[in-house]
Amino acid sequence: MTIFLPATEASPSLPPSSAEVRRVSGTVLVVDDEPIVRTATARLVKQLGLVAITVNDGDEALVVYKAQQNEIVLVLLDMVMPRMPGPACYRELRKIGNVPVLLVSGYANDAQTQALLDSGADGFLEKPYTAPQLANEIDRILGRR
């Protein structure tokens, strides 16, 4: 069998992808009282080409957000935390600005979560979530798809 191929230096052009990702840069504030969850989530955020800042609770989140609100493009907010729980932190964040907020929890009260979604929270992920689930939600919220 003999195969004849044309000799060319040109590269074939690929058809445009229907799911092209628009690159949005910025910082994601990860708020969770569980160190393992914070670390793993921050690593996933960095793999998406974003900067991650992690904090332990709502009080710290407010301090960091006030100082860096121009850089923060998204807050990943755990619903159940000591000191200042997620719902209280969400309300305080809304007093400061209109940053997108993705709620996360393994113990969320459905009525409370729905109330926050109705008041403008941008999404909810139930723990444990997978890396693709987190990536899809971040891309959806930031308009990267």
pLDDT digits 0-9 by tens, 65-120: 999 999 999 999 999 998 899 999 999 999 999 999 999 998 767 888 899 999 99
CB 58 within 8 A of CB 86: yes
Neighbours of 57 (CB within 10 A): 18
Output the pTM of the full model: 0.82
24-108 CATH, one of 3.30.465.10, 3.40.50.2300, 3.20.20.70, 2.60.40.1940: 3.40.50.2300
Q: Where are the beta strands (DSSP E) in the chain?
A: 27-31, 51-55, 72-78, 101-105, 123-126
